Structures are given as C-alpha cells and as structure tokens.
Structure 1
C-alpha cells in the first residue's frame, strides 16, 4: 500500500514558502497500522518532522509536483493508495532566486499563483492496477459533509475521509474524528479519539473493498 502524509510546501524564494498546518500524524498512523497488519508500506512524507515508522519504506518529498511523481511511481504495483497528505492547491507562478527584500515605503508586489496537479483525481481516474482502492482526505472548514460528498464525486476515489479542520482542530493534534464517505453510498462515522483508531477503520474499509482472502490488512 501507498500512504502520503504531511503537507506540501511551494517555494516563493529561498527562505519562504506557501504551505499548510498539516503535521503528518494521521498519515503516519495509517502507515504504522498498515505495517502492523502485515502490509508492505511505502510512506510518502511531505515535510513531516516525525520518526520513521518501523518496517515502512519512507520517501521524503517537498512540493506537490514532487509528491505527484512519487505517488505515480509507488502506485504502479500498489493494492491501495491513501492520500492523507495536505497537498497545496496552488503554487507561486514565479520562484525568486534570491530573498525578496522589503522596500521602504512600498507595498509588496502581488504574488501570482498557478494550480498544482490534482493528484487524487489523477490516481483515481487512471488506476495503475485493476481493483486498486484509492482513498482521499478532505479537510473542510464549513458544510463539511456537503462539501465532502461533492469532492468524492469530483475526485472519483473509492473512499473519502472527511474532517473539519481549523487552527486547533485536527492539524497537529493527537486525536481526530471523521466521517468516511464511500462511492457506494456508505457513510462511516469515527468518533473523536486517537488517530490510530481512524486508521484502523480506514484499513477495515479498504480491506473490504479489496476482497482479500489472505490475512494482510485484516
């Protein structure tokens, strides 16, 4: 299985970047849980300052473009791909080779942004293997379930883990709560608790969809 974790960073100049608050803890919990269940796990870690999980192949990445390349490469022989990383939707259109300096009495120039690749939609739309299960994450601040259902349909994944985020919610916390929406119309609520508990439920649902007869992931 392939798991992405953390948050991508899109450089503006050598010292600044456009990023997000993701710590990578949920993705790491997913990787540890899968490894404990007997899966061969590749963890694509985007700027996560966390210890490598035992028995997991960790691949560090920085930007959304780097993460896309790593996901497509790792997904080629994966039974499941779980995109738990918070991927920046946009990146600066221009990278400044030197630090952008303050100019006395002048406001800074506007920063133009361009769209990053939609990795989840790409992986969902062109499955590398027949029967591959793809799981996405949706971090929402309002109309959580409505926005989640819209995103599930738009992205084309099998499962979408939807949770509410904010300055003190989910990002960086040890606990999480979520609703896991299925493309088959299913809806599984996971009560507030350790991120490992959410990871267990995600892998239960993945295993059901894989229809495995061997003990891996069960």
Structure 2
C-alpha cells in the first residue's frame, strides 16, 4: 500500500506459499489464475496465468474479474488490512517533525468472496500469534469458508521468511494437523485435502 512514490506499507510475506500452491495445482491439471502482490517468486508452469497487483483494492478487483468462473478459490495472500488515506504524489521529505499517517480500512477480500460464493469451494488462511485455533475457526465461520489453513508464528520454522511451514486444517467438522514440511510439500497436503473434501 503506497505512502508516496517511494515508500509503502508492507509485511514480511514472500508469497512463496501461494506460488507453491499455484505450481502444484497446475501440475495436477488445473487452469490456475494467480493474483499476487509484490513478490520476487517466479512461476515456471505455463498453466498458471499470473496477475500482479500492488494494493488490496487492485487485488479485490482482479479477484472479482475471475471469481464467477472459479471452481476453487484459495486465498493465501497476506493482504494489508489498512492503507494510507492519502497517497502523496511526491516523495515525503524528512524534517524535524514527527510524521503521522492516517490509515483507513481496506476491503475484506476473503469476506467478499464468501458473501458472493455460489458453487466455489473456498479456502482461507490464518496466520496467528495467539488464540490460534479459536481465531481460525472464527474466521472459517464468519467468512463462509469451506476450510481454513492455520499456521502460527509461534511454531519454529513456520510462517514468513521460511521455506518450511507447519499447518493445521479446519473444516466445519474436523481438524487435521501436519508436521513441519517444505512449502512445496505443504502445498501438496493442502491440495490433497481439498480433493478429498470435493469427493465427499
């Protein structure tokens, strides 16, 4: 989310989990639309159509462009909850004063997807630091998801900046825990789980 032409508000997410999911889904024969925020990750599969965006509003717009014809929606992006109310047209110059930036709430992309869901199987992600399971289950219900993937920053080797992840998957009726694995292996576990749910 831009502050001025030089600075932005971001987070530590690399996008690796989303790119691993896109690659694995494409390997399984899916036509994949990958909508990504700023990331240095690369896609090597021609079955993946990549769209880059730089803000939550852009991401929502692009998601809605494809959502009606989507069978499975997987929302793994770490989207900013807030954005600067005003974006400076020129670089903000440093002076002796403190700088206060007013932030406004961004659209909730996953909630919008849940509200507009017709036939789609919808998968959300929750990265938590406290009350992890309770928060993930709350998000599953509130956002009308079919399943949610939880990872905790308290688990060593999980979350941002790691090539590994440790997840728990919740549906409305079950909980499944997985060991710490590479994000490519985690992507396989998630898609295996989705396939099992679709066959029920």
Q: TM-score, normalised by structure 2?
A: 0.93
1:33-182 alignment, distance < 5 Å: 33-55=24-46, 56-104=48-96, 106-108=97-99, 110-127=100-117, 129-130=118-119, 132-165=120-153, 169-182=158-171
**SS state at 2:36 partner:** strand
Deviation for aligned residue 1:53: 2.9
Q: Per-residue displacement from partner, 1:84-134 (whole Å, max 9, x unpaired)?
A: 100100001111111111213x222x211111011101101111x42x100
- 1:27 shift after superposition: 0.4
> Counterpart of 1:88 in 2: which secondary structure?
coil
Shift of 1:75: 1.5
TM-aligned CA distance change 1:16 to 1:124, over 3 Å: same
Aligned residues: 198
Q: Deviations over 1:196-217 (max 9, x none)?
A: 22211221222233339xxxxx
In structure 2, C-alpha distance between the alignment counterparts of 1:126 and 1:138, rounded to whole Å = 20
Give unpaired runs (5+ residues) of structure 1.
1-9, 213-218
The reply on whether 1:194 has 2:186 as its aligned counterpart is no
Instruction: Kindly state the Cα deviation for residue 169 of structure 1 after the two structures are TM-superposed.
Output: 4.1
Query: Does the residue aligned with 1:57 lie in a helix, a strand or coil?
Result: strand
Moved over 6 A (4+): none
Q: Contact between 1:134 and 1:159, CA under 8 Å: does it hold in 2?
A: yes
Structure 2: gaps of 5 or more residues: none
Which string of whole-angstrom CA distances, capped at 9 and with x for unpartnered residues, describes residues 49-95 of structure 1?
Answer: 11123121111111100100111112221110000100100001111
RMSD: 1.7
Q: Which residue of 2 aligns with 1:206?
A: 194
Taking the aligned partners of 2:42 and 2:184, their CA distance within structure 1 comes to: 16
- Distance in 2, Cα, partners of 1:107 & 1:196: 44
